[in-house]
């Protein structure tokens, strides 16, 4: 088996030199994330503190450990060192860097400094050139792992000492693909974001019932239930499309914490309304009002996609279609089942009341987390 070998040859020790899969850890890596949106490219660069220590000696008091204070005090040095070793250029023109923040982050092999900065490019890229040379002079086995998000989706690349330069085509790879990827994104968002699903569920739970004089009675036919659901889902969609578009076009922008907390509150409201009627008027109107709020939430996803202006309309449309399809799938799963069991008292007690209470509780915890817990 491959292993360490010390051998004595003639005089003294020739220590060496054979070793195989005995390495306890992986070698040095840094993680670079670039998000291209228009002419701005937002960057986050996670660099292992161990590597920074080796390159520029962060442990200034030689205590054997690196504190946040030591890192913070050397922020400009760290940025200068790193920035010198990364160039992004657009169609041949270099993009100047603007540091925005310094954080830390845990990876599987220890703590990393997370450098946040922005490339202010002269224009939106058609071709993006990235030149990466961090640590290659002091550790040629270092790898730079790039995740690039932008028009045309996400891609990854690895920079090595032998492949330090790479070029990325940023022009949208076909209109259809971009539209369909937006549709997929929309569907994915409904199904991945449990808060929207719960909100929908809270609105849908009573749709096979009618409130009559303070008590719930089953609706008479499937058509009525469908009409009710259609009205609610349409109202919700129209509303979130409006605010989503406004936010994506940068007409209105709300702080994300407010929006996220507001969405949680809206879920609580919708669920509690099933237990105790608070919202006057039709549930359709409530869906519309709350849908306005959810639109702002969706817009965060679109920002993540990194859109150029000319793609925006197409992507907005695709995303809305996707959200709609996602919702439709949820309704198609829920409604027939609920309709079948609507006459059972158990549906009212466990399904409607219990379910709504559970949704309200979950959303209340979210609300507290999002509104008050600083992360």
Partner 1 sequence: MRRAFVVTVCVALLVGVVWSATASRRGPSDAPYVPVDDAVILSSLPPSVPRSARAANGGAAGAGEGELARWRKELERDPGNLPLATQLAKRNIEEGRARSDPRYLGRAQAALAPWWNEASPPADVLLLRATIRQSTHEFDAALADLDQLLQREPDDAQAWLTRSIVLSVRGDYAESRASCVRLRGLANQLVSAQCVAAVESLSGHAKEAYANLLSAFQRANPLGFAERAWILSSLGEIAIRAGDDVSGERHYRAALDADPSDGYTRAAYADLLIDEGRAAEAIPWLRDRENDDNLLLRLTIAETDAHSEGATAHVQTLRARYLASQERGDVVHRREQARFQLGLVHDAKSALELAKANWQVQREPADARIFLEAALAAQRPNEATPVLEFLEASGAEEPRLAALAARVRQGR
Residues 105-134 that bind partner 1 (CB under 8 A): 105-111, 114, 116
Q: How far apart are CA 274 and CA 216, in angstroms?
A: 10
Spatial separation of the C-alpha atoms in residues 246 and 73, rounded to whole Å:
41
Q: For partner 1, which is the closer residue by CB, 6 or 372?
A: 6
Cβ-in-10-Å burial (0-12, 13-18, 19+) of 288 comes to: buried
Nearer to partner 1, 102 or 248 (CB): 102
- Least Å distance, CB 5 to partner 1, is 6
Residue 124 or 146: which CB sits closer to partner 1? 146
Which are the contacts of 284, defined by CB distance < 8 A and separation ≥ 6?
231, 232, 235
Stretch that binds partner 1, among 6-14, 89-97, 177-185, 251-259 (CB under 8 A): 6-14
The answer to the question of residue 251 lying near partner 1 (CB under 8 A) is: no
Please, which residues bridge with residue 156 across strands? Answer: 147
Q: Which residue has tokens 């960057």?
A: 43
Of 206 and 322, nearer to partner 1 (C-beta) is 206
Strand 40-48 to 110-120 pairing: antiparallel
* Choices 26-34, 229-237, 251-259, 278-286 (CB under 8 A): range interacting with partner 1: 26-34
Nearest-angstrom CA–CA distance, 298 and 311: 17
Q: What are φ and ψ of residue 365, in 5° steps?
A: -65, -45
Residues in binding contact with partner 1, number by CB under 8 A: 80
229 near 207, Cβ under 8 Å? Answer: yes
Interacting positions 330-359 with partner 1 (CB under 8 A): 349-350, 353-355, 357-359
Q: Does 365 bind partner 1 (CB under 8 A)?
A: yes
**Is 4 an interacting residue with respect to partner 1 (CB under 8 A)?**
yes
Rounded Cα distance between 235 and 228, Å, is 11
Instruction: Locate 88 and state its tokens.
Output: 């992004």
Least distance from C-beta 267 to partner 1, angstroms? 11
- Interactions with partner 1, residue window 202-231 (CB under 8 A): none
Scanning residues 259 to 278, which ones bind partner 1 (CB under 8 A)?
275
The H or E element that residue 224 is part of is helix 222-248
Output the smallest distance, CB 14 to partner 1, in A.
Answer: 6
What is the chain's alpha carbon radius of gyration, rounded to the nearest angstrom? 27
* Rounded distance between C-alpha atoms, residue 75 and residue 78, angstroms: 5
DSSP string, 11-31: SSEEEE----TT-SS---EEE
Of 140-148, 231-239, 242-250, 283-291: span binding partner 1 (CB under 8 A): 140-148
Q: Does 155 bind partner 1 (CB under 8 A)?
A: no
Nearer to partner 1, 65 or 76 (CB): 65
Residue 71: Cβ within 10 Å count: 19
Give the interface segment with partner 1, choosing from 41-49, 173-181, 278-286, 298-306 (CB under 8 A).
41-49
Q: Which of residues 44-73 bind partner 1 (CB under 8 A)?
A: 44, 46, 49-51, 53-54, 59, 64-69, 71-72
Q: Which of residues 302-321 bind partner 1 (CB under 8 A)?
A: none
Query: Which residue, 132 or 366, has its beta carbon nearer to partner 1?
Result: 366
CA dihedral 299, 304, 307, 313 (to 10 degrees): -30
Q: Which of 1, 11, 251, 332 binds partner 1 (CB under 8 A)?
A: 1
Applying CB under 8 A, does 11 fall inside the site for partner 1? no
Alpha-carbon span 373 to 261, nearest angstrom: 11
Q: Does 360 bind partner 1 (CB under 8 A)?
A: yes
CB atoms near residue 54 (< 10 Å): 14
> Is residue 158 at the binding interface for partner 1, with CB under 8 A as the rule?
yes
Which span (19-27, 179-187, 200-208, 327-335) binds partner 1, by CB under 8 A?
Answer: 19-27
Residue 189, interface with partner 1 (CB under 8 A)?
no
Instruction: Considering the complex, state which of residue 138 and residue 313 has its C-beta at the smaller distance from partner 1.
Output: 138
């Amino acid at each position: 088996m491959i292993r360490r070998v010390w051998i004595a040859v003639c005089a003294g020790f020739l220590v060496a030199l054979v070793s195989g899969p005995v390495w306890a850890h992986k070698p040095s890596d840094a993680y670079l994330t670039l998000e291209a949106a228009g002419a701005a490219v937002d960057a986050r660069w996670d660099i292992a503190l161990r590597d920074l220590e080796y390159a520029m000696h962060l442990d200034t008091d030689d205590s054997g450990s690196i504190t946040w204070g030591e890192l913070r005090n050397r922020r400009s040095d760290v940025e200068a060192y790193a920035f010198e070793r990364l160039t992004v250029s657009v169609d041949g023109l270099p993009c100047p860097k603007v540091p925005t923040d310094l954080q830390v982050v845990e990876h599987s092999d220890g703590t990393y400094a997370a450098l946040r900065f922005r490339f202010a490019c002269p224009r939106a890229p058609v071709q993006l050139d990235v030149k990466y040379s961090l640590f290659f002079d002091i550790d040629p086995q270092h790898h730079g792992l790039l995740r690039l998000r932008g028009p045309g989706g996400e891609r990854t690349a690895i920079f090595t000492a032998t492949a330090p330069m790479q070029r990325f085509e940023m022009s949208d790879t076909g209109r259809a693909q971009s539209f369909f990827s937006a549709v997929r994104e929309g569907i994915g968002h409904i199904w991945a974001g449990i808060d929207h699903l719960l909100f929908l569920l809270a609105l849908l739970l009573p749709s096979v019932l009618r409130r009559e004089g303070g008590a719930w009675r089953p609706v008479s036919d499937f058509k009525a239930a469908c009409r009710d659901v259609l009205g609610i889902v349409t109202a919700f969609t129209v509303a979130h499309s409006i605010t989503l578009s406004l936010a994506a076009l940068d007409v209105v922008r709300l702080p994300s914490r407010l929006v996220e907390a507001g969405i949680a509150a809206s879920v609580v409201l919708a669920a509690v309304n099933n237990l105790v009627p608070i919202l006057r008027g039709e549930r359709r109107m409530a869906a519309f009002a709350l849908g306005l709020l959810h639109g702002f939430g969706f817009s965060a996803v679109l920002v993540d996609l990194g859109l150029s202006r000319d793609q925006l309309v197409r992507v907005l449309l695709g995303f809305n279609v996707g959200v709609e399809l996602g919702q439709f799938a949820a309704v198609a799963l829920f409604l027939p089942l609920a309709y079948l069991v609507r006459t059972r008292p158990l549906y009212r007690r466990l399904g409607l009341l219990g379910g709504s209470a559970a949704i309200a509780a979950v959303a209340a915890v979210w609300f507290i987390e999002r509104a008050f817990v600083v992360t």
